[in-house]
Each structure stands twice: as structure tokens, then as C-alpha cells.
Structure 1
Amino acid sequence: MEAKRLRMQNSTVSYLDNGNGKPIILLHGFCGSSGYWEKVIPELSKNYRVIAPDLPGHGGSSMLNDGYGIDDLADMIRDLLDELNLQQVTMFGHSLGGYITLAFAEKYSDRLNGFSLIHSTAFPDSDEAKLGRAANIEKVKKDGIHPLIDGLVPKLFSPDNLDEIYVEAAKTIGYATSPQGAMSTLLAMKDRPNRNNVLEGTELPVLLIAGESDQIIPSEKTFSVTKANVKQSLIKASGHMSMYENPTDLINEIKRFLSEMEK
């Protein structure tokens, strides 16, 4: 899969664009990239147009000019959709990508057919988590990106899935994150608000996906709202990275959600 690059007002965005059909957007997590979706895109792109951008300071995308919050990242995705002449999409956000998806749903619900949080949550950071974000900002400032990635990546996987290939693939992607991108994103996540009101208020179809053995965001943090239009799905044999750990079940849940939306 060859990345495309698009120069926008405040940054250059690298993104994958594969397949034809109704457009779906895949947003990766912190210190990830569109490469996170390498096992997912080929199957989904058989029936859909799949667009997976690298977020600012991640992968092949440049930083935004003046740092950013989660709302700014949602605005950037809106600008990308405008550049690609896409009026309505279905959005899937992994972890950090889920925070952006919620902000997008709050600000631009008319641009969505539906949305999904994958190993993500509508809750804000706890006080303890905020302290951890601040400590990691200082760690990157002092030691660079590599120690952060080396400490983070193994925690993303279930203890049963510490396959060296998966871990090394995620580390390689993580090392490509710019230190400024990591620090700005840590601050954005630390300061994000509670957005359970978005899940409670939306009438759009919603898919909440959690990993059975997620050490980062447990299922109860993902399954925070129960409503008729909100589907909950628990991926077996997976931690925080079902796109690597159990891509078959993840793909099936995504396809089932998309299919039910079209009925």
C-alpha cells in the first residue's frame, strides 16, 4: 500500500486510500500510524473506500503549525474530508483515534453515517493518568522517543500475545513519531474532556469495541453507554491492539456494523 501526501493549510498529511465504495475512515492510536491497519485494510477495501491518515507528527504527516488539542485534530480530519470531497463517512477510531472520533461526532455529526471507538473511551483521563502523561512528556523531552516506545508498546498487547513480530512492528511504527508530535499529543490527551454526553446524545449508529485483555483501556471504560443504537463488542484473545492480535474478529465486527447500517 502506497501512501499519498496532501498539502493542507497547516500541515502535510500522509494517508492510505484504497478500494472503492462508501468511504470509511480509520484513525490510529498514539505513536501509531496508518501502518497499524495493514492487516485490516486489504479485506475492508474489497467493498469500501478505506482512508487511513497519519495523524500530525506521526508516520509520514508533519506537525500542525502551533501544537494542538483533540478538537484541533478533529478539525484537521474535517479539512482532509473537504480536500477529498467526502461529505459523509463512517469513522473508526483506535484509542487516541477514538478521542478524535468523539470530538468529530460532537462537532460535525452531519458528516457521519456512524462511528466506532476501538479500544478507546469517552471518559477523560483520571488524575493518575494525567500525572503519567506529564511524566511521559518530560521523558520524551529528556530522552527522546525511543525509551517511551520501548516502555509503551509491550503494554499494548495481551500478555498472551507478546509475539516478537507484532511488538517489533508496533515499535518500528512508534519510533517514526516525532518527539514534538508525541509531546503535543500527550498534552492533548491529558486535557481532553469527558465525552460520554456524545454517546448518550447521538442518534447515529455506534460500535464500541473492547479487548478482552486490554491493559490500557478495560472494557468497562469502553462500554460506558448502553442504548439501542450503541452496539458493544468484546474481542477475544486481544489486548489493546486487535488489529494485530485478532484482526479476523475485528474485521468481522467492522463489516457486520457496516452491513447493518446499510439495511
Structure 2
Amino acid sequence: MELKKLTLQDTSIAYIDSGSGKPIVLLHGFCGSSRYWEHVIPALSADYRVIAPDLPGHGQSDPLKGNTTIENIADQVKSLLDTLNVPIVTMFGHSLGGYITLAFAEKYSGQLNGYSLIHSTSFPDSEEAKKGRLANIEKVNQSGIYSLIDGLVPKLFSPENQDENYVGEAMEIGYTTSAEGAIDALNAMKDRPKRNHVLEASTLPVLLIAGEQDQIIPSDKTFSVSKDNIKQSLIKDSGHMSMYENPMDLISEIQNFLSNIKL
């Protein structure tokens, strides 16, 4: 899959743009990149146009200039879509990408025909989690990005999947995150607000996906709102990384969701 680049407001952003048809957007998680979706994009791009950016400071994208917030990243995603002349999309956000998807849905709901949180939550960080973000910022400042990735990535996978080759793949992707990008994202996640009200008020189709063995965001934190327009799905044999641990079930859930959306 070819990685393309363009410049938005003096900031370079890298992205995959694969397939044709109705557009969908895939937003990766913290210390990931568009490569997180390598096992998902081929199946989806057979029927849809798949746009998957590297988030700021991740992969081959530059960090944002100035203060980085979840809302600012959502603004950059909108700028990317506007530059690509894509007026309406279905958005899927993994973890950090889910926080950005909710911010996008709050600010730009008219540009969505549906959206999904994958191993993500509408709740803000707890006080304990905020302390963990600050500790990780200190780790990056003191020891660099490799130290952070070495401690973080194994926790993303279920205990049963620790020896799989894809854990190493995720670590290699994590190492491409810039120190500035990781710190910016940690601060943005730490300071993000509660957004249950976005799910509660939304009339769009919504898909909430949780991992049965997710050690980062348990299913009760993902399944925070129950409404007729919100589908809840639990991926078996998966921790926080179903795009690696159980991609076939993830693809099936995404395809079924898309098939019921008026695209």
C-alpha cells in the first residue's frame, strides 16, 4: 500500500488512500501508524475507498505546530478530508483514534454518516491514568521512545498472544513515533474531556467494538451508552489490538456495519 504525503498548514501528513467507492477513514491508536491497518485495508478497499492517515508525530507525519489537543487533531483530519474533496465519510477510530473520532463527531457530525470506536471509550482519563500519562512523558524525556514502546506494546495484546509475530510488528511501528509526537499525544489524551454526551445525542449509526481480553480499555468502558442506533460488539480472542489478534472478525464487524449504513 502506497503511503502518500501532503502539507496542511505547514505540517506534513502521511496517509494511505486505497480502493474506490464510498469513503471510510481509519484512525490508528497511540504510538501506531496507518500500518496498524495492514491486515484490514486489503479486504475493505475491495469495496470502499479507505483513507488511513498517520496521526501527528506518528509514522511519517509531522507533529502539529503549537499546542496539540484531541480537538486539534480532529481538525487536521477534517482538513485532510477537505483537501481530498471527501465531504462525507464513515470513521473508525482505534483507541486514541476513537477519542479523535468522538471529537470529530462532536464538531463535524455533518461530515459523517456513521462512526465507530474500536477498543476506545468516551470516558476521560481517571486520576490514576493521568498520573500514568505523566510518568510516560517523563520516561520519553529521560530514556527515549524505545523505552516507552518496550513497556507499552506487550500490554496491548492479550496474554495468550504475547508470543505472536505481530507483537514485534507493532513494536517496530511504535519505534517510528517521534518523541515529540508521543509526548503531544500523551498530553492530549490526559486532558481530553468526557464525551458520553456525544454518543447519547448522536442519531448516526454507531459501532462500539471491545476486545474480550482487553487489558487497556475493558468492555464496560467501551459500551458506555446503549441506544437503538448503537451496536455493541465483543471481539473474542483479542486484547486491545483486534486488527492483529483477530482481524477477520474485526473486518466482518466493520463490513456488516457499513452494509447497514446509507452511504
Residues in 2 aligned to 1:131 and 1:156: alpha-carbon distance in whole angstroms: 19
Q: Distance in 2 between matches of 1:181 and 1:257?
A: 32
| CA deviation after TM superposition for structure 1 residue 205, in Å | 0.3
Tell me if 1:94 matches 2:97: no
Tell me if 1:140 matches 2:174.
Answer: no
State the match for 1:74 in structure 2: 74
The offset of 1:67, in angstroms, is 3.4
Any conservation in 2 of the 1:10–1:64 contact (CA below 8 Å)? no
Displacement of 1:127 after TM fit? 0.3
Residues 43-66 of structure 1: CA distance to partner in whole angstroms, max 9, x if unpaired? 000000000000010001011111
Q: Secondary structure at the match of 1:261?
A: coil
| Equivalent AA in structure 2 for residue 49 of structure 1 | R
- TM-score, L = length of structure 2: 0.99
Q: CA deviation at 1:40?
A: 0.1
Superposed, 1:191-230 pairs within 5 Å as 191-230=191-230
Structure 1, residues 117-167: CA drift from partner, whole Å, max 9, x if none?
000000000000000000100110110000100000000000011134111
Aligned residues: 263
Letter in 1 for 2:75: D
Identity of aligned residues (%): 69
Give the letter aligned to residue 3 of structure 2: A
| Partner of residue 18, structure 2 | 18
- Give the Cα–Cα distance (whole angstroms) in 2 for the partners of residues 164 and 50 of structure 1: 27
CA distance in 2, matches of 1:84, 1:163: 40
Paired AA for residue 43 in structure 2: E
Residue identity in the other structure for 1:98: G
Whether 2:189 is the aligned partner of 1:184: answer no
CA distance in 2, matches of 1:134, 1:36: 25
Q: Distance in 2 between matches of 1:114 and 1:163?
A: 36
Letter in 2 for 1:138: E
SS at structure 1 position matched to 2:217: coil
Match of 1:41 in 2: 41
Deviations 1:169-198 (A, max 9, x none): 000000000000000100000000000000
> Residues of 2 paired with 1:91 and 1:116: CA distance?
6
Contact 1:124 1:194 in 2 (8 A): yes
* Contact 1:19–1:49 under 8 Å retained in 2: yes
Which stretch has the larger CA shift, 79-88 or 163-172? Answer: 163-172
Distance 2:163 2:94 in 1: 20
Q: How does 1:101-140 map to 2 (within 5 A)?
A: 101-140=101-140
Hey, what's the Cα distance between the residues in 2 that align with 1:105 and 1:82? Answer: 15
Partner Cα separation in structure 2 for residue 63 and residue 260 of structure 1: 36
| Runs of 4+ in structure 1 over 3 Å off | none
Separation of aligned partners in 2, 1:97 and 1:164: 24
Range moving further from structure 2, 64-73 or 151-160: 64-73
Indicate yes or no: 2:63 matched with 1:63.
yes
Amino acid at match of 2:111: R
Q: Mind listing any 5+ residue stretches in structure 2 that lack a counterpart?
A: none
CA contact (8 A) 2:113 2:262 kept: no
Residue type at the aligned position of 2:258: L
Counterpart of 2:159, as a letter, is P
Q: CA RMSD in A?
A: 0.8
Post-superposition shift, 1:209? 0.1
Tell me if 1:163 matches 2:163. Answer: yes
What TM-score do the two structures reach when normalised by structure 1?
Answer: 0.99
